[in-house]
Amino acid sequence: MKFRLLNLFCLFCFFTISSLCGRQSGVFAQEKQFPISINGNIQSDILFPEEDVKIGSEGYDETALTNTYFDLNLMSTYINAGARFEFLKYPLPGFEPDFSGWGVPYLYLTGSYKKVKLTVGDFYDQFGSGFIFRAYQERSLGIDNALRGGRLTFEPVKGVNIKALGGKQRRYFEHNDSYILGSDLELNIEQWFEKMQENNTVLLLGGSFITKHEEDEIIKVDSIYKLNFPNDVAAFDIRAKLQKGNYSFLLEYANKINDPSSDNNYIYKNGTAWLFSSSYAQRGMSILLQAKRSDNMTFRSKRSDNSVAASFLNHLPPFSMQHSYTLAALYPYATQPGGEWAFQGNFTYNFRRNTKIGGKYGTIIKINASHIRSIDKQFVEQFNGSASSLYGTEGYSSDFFKMGDETYYQDINFSIDKKLTKDFKLNLMYMNLYSNEMIIRQHEGDLRANVFACEGKYQISNKVTLRSELQYLSTKDDEGDWMFGLIEISLLPYLMFTVSDMYNSGKSNLHYYKALVTFTYKSHLLQAGYGRSRAGYDCSGGICRRVPASRGFQMSYNYNF
């Protein structure tokens, strides 16, 4: 099917309306007596795909693929309202089939008076770290788990914050049938004691509760019909956060009652999660240490949903570094919802100027380490076709503090950021990686790799900057070695030109070249380019989306008003 005129018409409407709204909001800003302001955003990513047999790029019937969003918000002293139009009829490669559609799936109205706020419509929110509830949007992964219903927040007395919410969860352009109800309480203890405020001490205690009501359904798993599902699944979360001077500590625990679903192969077992985080920061130095354990903690508003990004009520925060260098991010980690032990440590130190190591301009070193492994599990007897398995007596038991013997992922990286001259800055990075590919991506074998990166930035003049990258990934596993090179020149304040190539020197000897031009003007950003993209994974927050190989002309436009 060809790229229809409706798509182009929608884009034209977006640009026209946003320009009018931008001018109008400027008028509102000048006339302070007018109580209403307008803001919003347009984001449109377009690919004109081409078939490329060498890299495995698919052919498409559509001339162009696009993910386009238009947000519009009206703000006033007591009432806010907003809506989002989405055109995803022909989405970019890699998104699930149900992701396709177009319409206005997000709209809200919020009224606030003093310390009370009520929202009706669609909204995002989170309890604590998200162990039992997180409704959020991540466009790069196709995640939009907004609730449609109502939310009330208020502060009855100083230091006490209460939240109550309920509704149905969005699943692409529809909503799941289950009902979600939840509440959250946070106590800011320091606000009750002057001495704590004088001593720069902050103590927060929190508790959350959420429940899902979902009707029965008949599901067939391995020739067995599952009939006896709990209609109500509840979860709770308790947490404490203490900040004292340069120190900060967070302890959180969550529990979910038995919730058989497609994620755990319909076993009847409670889920648990806890985390401990501590940090210390002073001028020029910071330390972060974190530990997390999760077991059977996936929580969806639709038990039979097995999609990558839809129907999740909660979020398990990742304890692995989100790398910015291309080759360092080639094999990312995806959080294992069935259970994992995760540890992460980060150390940053800034050697001051005019010291032996700092040199004339100072030196920053960063050390980061992540280690993620299995939890200890003993499977009793699972899905053997007996009547008992239909009614929830099967499952597994686990020793809470005992670790499993299988390593999922390990990343140890070290970087040096140093300014060598007034105009030249150098960054060096080394990364040692281990990835259990069978667990993470269902690929045969483990992957061990060493990654090296060198980035230089040269300030040619006040308006011209040259940046370059050289990266090398060395491994005997998977596709073998990779090399990456990039040259980027910025012409302030409007233009930036980027040319890059990722080359596989291990097996395929394929080049993944790309050339981009970026234009920035006030709140407008337009990027256009041509090139190849390797098949791989796009990850954020421990959630990964498989992205197929592609080649073609791409364009991206972003405007905030």
pLDDT number for residue 227? 67
What total number of domains does the chain contain? Answer: 3
Same domain? 311 vs 353: no
Structure tokens at 533: 């993209």
Tell me the pLDDT band of 520, cut-offs 50, 70 and 90. Answer: very high
Distances in whole angstroms, Cα of residue 420 to Cα of each of 357, 367, 461, 467: 12, 21, 17, 15
Same domain? 139 vs 236: yes
Same domain? 349 vs 400: yes
- Between CA 526 and CA 495 the distance in angstroms is 10
Residue 499 lies in a domain: yes
Higher pLDDT, residue 445 or 92: 92
Same domain? 158 vs 73: no
pLDDT number for residue 400? 62
Answer yes or no: are the C-beta atoms of 499 and 55 closer than 8 Å: no
pLDDT number for residue 445? 84
- Between CA 185 and CA 204 the distance in angstroms is 10
Which region, left, alpha or beta, applies to residue 127 given φ > 0 means left and ψ of -120 to 50 means alpha?
Answer: beta
Long-range pairs of 265-268 with CB within 8 A, sequence gap ≥ 24: 265/221, 265/382, 265/383, 266/219, 266/221, 266/226, 266/383, 267/296, 267/382, 267/394, 267/395, 267/396, 268/392, 268/393, 268/394, 268/395
Cα pseudo-dihedral 127, 128, 133, 134, rounded to 10: 90
Residue 134 lies in a domain: yes
- Between CA 322 and CA 544 the distance in angstroms is 12
Same domain? 153 vs 266: yes
- Domain edge (last residue) among 285, 317, 349: 317
B/e letters for 115-127, b = 16+ CB within 10 Å, e = fewer, are eebebbbbbebbb
- Between CA 121 and CA 107 the distance in angstroms is 6
Same domain? 157 vs 57: no
- Between CA 321 and CA 369 the distance in angstroms is 8
- Between CA 340 and CA 560 the distance in angstroms is 40
Tell me the pLDDT band of 444, cut-offs 50, 70 and 90. Answer: confident
Same domain? 130 vs 185: yes
- Between CA 131 and CA 239 the distance in angstroms is 11
Residue 331 lies in a domain: yes
Q: Tell me the pLDDT tens digit for each residue of 243-254.
A: 999 999 999 999
Statement: residue 35 has pLDDT above 90 = no
Distance of CA 368 to the CA centre of its chain: 20
Distances in whole angstroms, Cα of residue 184 to Cα of each of 110, 154, 208, 315: 19, 11, 4, 16
Residue 507 lies in a domain: yes
Same domain? 530 vs 479: yes
Amino acid identity, residue 379? F
Same domain? 281 vs 427: no
Q: Tell me the pLDDT tens digit for each residue of 290-338.
A: 999 999 999 999 999 988 889 999 999 889 999 999 999 999 999 998 8
Count of C-beta atoms within a 10 Å radius of residue 260: 21
Same domain? 302 vs 362: no
Closest of 428, 506, 513 to residue 471, by C-alpha: 428
pLDDT number for residue 16? 45
The domain containing residue 69 runs over which residues?
Answer: 1-39+48-88+98-105
- Domain edge (last residue) among 275, 294, 317: 317
Statement: residue 46 has pLDDT above 60 = yes
pLDDT number for residue 168? 98
Answer yes or no: are the C-beta atoms of 523 and 561 closer than 8 Å: yes
B/e letters for 307-323, b = 16+ CB within 10 Å, e = fewer, are bbbbbbbbbbbbbbbeb
Distances in whole angstroms, Cα of residue 21 to Cα of each of 36, 38, 72, 104, 545: 12, 7, 9, 18, 35
Which residues, in sequence order, are CB contacts of 219 under 8 Å at separation 6+?
225, 226, 266, 303, 304
**Neighbour-count burial of 68, counting CB atoms closer than 10 A to its CB (0-12 exposed, 13-18 middle, 19+ buried):** buried
- Domain edge (last residue) among 287, 317, 347: 317
Mean pLDDT of the chain: 89
Same domain? 327 vs 313: no
**Neighbour-count burial of 449, counting CB atoms closer than 10 A to its CB (0-12 exposed, 13-18 middle, 19+ buried):** buried
Higher pLDDT, residue 34 or 388: 34
Answer yes or no: are the C-beta atoms of 212 and 260 closer than 8 Å: no
Statement: residue 547 has pLDDT above 70 = yes
Same domain? 74 vs 164: no
Q: Tell me the pLDDT tens digit for each residue of 274-303.
A: 999 999 999 999 999 999 999 999 999 999
9-13, 249-253, 268-272: which has the minimum mean pLDDT? 9-13
Answer yes or no: are the C-beta atoms of 208 and 180 closer than 8 Å: no
Residue 450 lies in a domain: yes
Report CA torsion sign: 323, 327, 328, 331.
Answer: positive
**Distance between terminal CA atoms of the chain?**
34
Residue 539 lies in a domain: yes
Length of the chain (residues): 561
Residue 292 lies in a domain: yes
- Between CA 34 and CA 25 the distance in angstroms is 11
Residue 93 lies in a domain: no
DSSP code string of 86-123: EEESSPPTT--GGG-EEEEEEEEEEEEETTEEEEEEEE
